[in-house]
Chain A
Amino acid sequence: VGGNLARRLERDPEFEYVAGLDTRKPAASLERTELIDADIRSPVISKLIPQAEVDTVVHNQIVRRAGPGMSARAMHDINVIGSLQLLAACEKSDTIRTIVIRGSAGVYGAEPHAPQFFNEEMTRMFPLRTRFQRDVGEIENYFETYSRRHPDVTCMMLRYQPAIGPSLDTQIPRYLSLPVVPTYFGFDPRIQLVHEDDALDALAAAVKSPVRGAVNVAGDGTIGLTRMVRLAGRPTLPVVGPLFGATAGVAKRLGMLDFSEDFQRLLRYGRGVDTTRLVEEVGFQPRYSTAEAVQDYAAKIGGRRLAPALRHVVAR
């Protein structure tokens, strides 16, 4: 996403200078973005960032799922220590006016007793149960402290619902491309997603018109998990609760998908967020609703469907 965001921003004449900071080379081809090869966890960035004399910092490096060969420890380091280093670097700069962090709606958790739509004030409603939730919670706390110390800097925390799109390699698309999709037996939670295009556009919109505080990012409406899987044309495998962990273990061992604890809770209880702030204060209306995002994904990946032949003939 970082590379795509840079490409989006460098096309916009409003931005004079765009720099990208990463340890890896971006997949997107960039024209005028200056690439800085540095690790967010190292204190070096507190020299680099003030030197660049930028006015906006976008922190897009919160890892939601440990990649291959990445330990839970490394994920924690990147998320928490990395964000801390970044904020420390921002302390040293006096040109910065805006900091945007791409966070996660996972901080609300997935709870059976939760209101159907979390608004931005509801982070304290339930205990932070998983490691990822605690990490994001910690980042949010540091960010809040920073924001209090620097009233002249607009600090914006974007809380993203999971993204879906044919070009993404994130949990939901991976989950939907399993040959058989495991679900919790007797549970069909409401899932809310953001289309990959909207995810990027929302980030760009946030950079252009930032608002203070947290903002939820998601498509309109929700979709039942079963309906989502059916739209993607996949057979489901209902697994009783106590055995789900073991099933997830098998999927992980086969290298298909690492069901994080957060993701497992999401598949059981679901989560919806209220996007009033995004639409009214940031002024960004997602183009795809949750259901449309799934339909778009299904149309683009194609794939084998189970029922169309039946339906086709019956309709005749």
Chain B
Amino acid sequence: MTREARTAPDGGPGFADDNGRGRSQGPAAGMGAAVAFMRLMREGLESGVELPEALARGAAGLPREARDRVSAAARRLDGDYQEDEWGFDEEFADLVEPVFDFLYDTWWRVTPTGVHNVPSHGRALLVSNHAGILPWDGTMIAMSILREHPLPRHPRFLVLNWAFDLPWISVILRKVGGVVASPFNALRLLEQDKLVAVFPEGVKGAGKDFKDRYRLQRFGRGGFVEIALRTGAPLVPVAVVGSEEIYPKIGELPLISKLIGAPYFPVTPTFPLLGPLGTIPLPSRWRIEFCEPIDTSGYGPEAADDRGLVFELSERVRETIQQKVYENLVERGPAFL
């Protein structure tokens, strides 16, 4: 038994999934495979080969699908996978998709509309309202594009810098397409014709009180418009409804935030009262609307220095999102039912 337990960490996330698939063929098949695995591995060990080889022989007794999983896990352990220059790891992003699928379908029951407004190729800048310190809204925007768009692609999103100080979260974020919220990153990504999501409300949005939910904060100095103008990327306003109820912030603890260097330390009905359990987002019902793109290529890159135009476009995007947020709030009805 201990030996089988030892193989589990090697298998990584693939194994957990594997059990689920085994069950669909009936519990007997799953048991049979496990027994075959154990028997072959024991025979291997008794004939005096080393552990990795014995494990490998055991794996030969597993059903085809499980073997593919094991070999995929072994391949990753060998470092045989791709990451782009941003650290985006598509294979990893696909691997964790079931988690996001669950959140998308069951937990938040996301209803996306207007996904066709997202350009299917070339650069584009998605601009969205934002709430909560963890970028769940970013992941759900990505999921609606991946699932509903005829030509799906992974968007990259600019994440509040502070998240990159955190263990694990920083790694997962970069592997699924998050980058530090720096204009240099946005410019480079757009020049590479990527789809980029930004949240111009920034910390002000993330630190909103529950009573201020769905009231869009100031859009900074309109840096995102400058970037869009400089690269000629269309602006796609995105209104997200539901994200502002998952962590209803009712207060803050400024002393703690100063101590750990966080932009703020939220107090919600469940956090920090319930500890880590308090970080589980509430199951609100979500709607995501992708609005008509605003073409910026006509203005030319020099227009980025035109303050007036930048503020005008920034305000236009803000108003579009605010209006769509209100419309979708009415459409959605009660938050949690």
Contact, CB under 8 Å: A313 / B59: yes
Asked if B67 lies at the interface with its beta carbon under 8 angstroms from chain A, I say yes
B161 touches A113 (CB 8 A): yes
- Scoring B residues 35 to 77 as 1 if CB is less than 8 Å from chain A, else 0, what string do you get? 0000000000000001011011101100000010011001111
Task: Specify which chain A residues have a CB less than 8 angstroms from the CB of B161 in the assembled complex.
Answer: 112-113
| B184 interface neighbour in A117, A220, A224, A311, Cβ under 8 Å | A117
Q: Which residues of A contact B174 (CB under 8 A)?
A: 188, 190
B165 located at the interface, meaning its Cβ lies under 8 Å from any Cβ of chain A in the complex:
yes
In the complex, whether B81 has a CB less than 8 A from a CB of chain A is yes
* Residues in B neighbouring A150, C-beta threshold 8 A: none
A233 — which chain B residues lie within 8 A by C-beta?
78
**B185 is contacted by which of A116, A187, A310 (Cβ under 8 Å)?**
A116
A163 at the interface (CB under 8 A from B): no
Which residue of A has the minimal Cβ distance to B78? A307
**Which residues from 147 to 183 on chain B have a C-beta closer than 8 Å to any C-beta of chain A?**
161-162, 164-168, 170-171, 174, 179-180, 182
The reply to whether A309 and B53 contact each other, CB–CB distance below 8 Å, is yes
| Cβ contact of A312, chosen from B56, B80, B164, B185, cutoff 8 A | B56
Q: Is the CB of B86 within 8 A of A116?
A: yes
Q: Looking at chain A, what size class is its interface with the partner chain? A: 35 or more
A115 near B78 (CB under 8 angstroms)?
no
B interface footprint on A221-248 (CB within 8 Å = 1, 0 otherwise): 1111011111111000000010000000
Cα distance A286–B334 when bound, in Å?
58
Residue A314 CB within 8 A of the other chain: yes
A272, CB-defined interface residue at 8 Å: yes
Q: What residue of chain B has the Cβ atom nearest to residue A185's Cβ? A: B167
- Bound-complex Cα distance A190 to B89 (A): 12
Residues from 200 to 237 in A contacting B, C-beta threshold 8 Å: 220-224, 226-233
Q: CA A222 – CA B168 in complex, angstroms?
A: 19
Q: Which residues of A contact B75 (CB under 8 A)?
A: 311
* B window 219-246: CB within 8 A of A: none
A306 within 8 A of B: yes
Query: Closest residue of chain A to B77, judged by CB?
Result: A307
CB distance from B66 to the nearest CB of A (A): 10
At the interface, yes or no: A147 with Cβ under 8 Å from chain B? no
B89 to A, closest residue via Cβ: A224
What residues on A are CB-neighbors of B77 within 8 Å? 230, 306-307
Q: Identify which of residues 180-209 in chain A touch chain B, using a CB-to-CB cut-off of 8 Å.
A: 184-188, 190
Choose one: B74, B83, B89, B188; the contact of A311 (CB below 8 Å).
B74
Which residues of B have CB within 8 Å of A222? 83, 85-87
Given known pairs A113-B180, A309-B56, the reply for A314 and B74 (CB within 8 Å) is yes
**Extra A-B contacts (17), CB below 8 Å, given A269-B164, A310-B71:** A112-B170, A116-B86, A116-B87, A184-B167, A185-B167, A186-B171, A222-B87, A224-B83, A227-B83, A231-B78, A241-B167, A291-B83, A306-B78, A307-B10, A309-B50, A314-B67, A314-B71
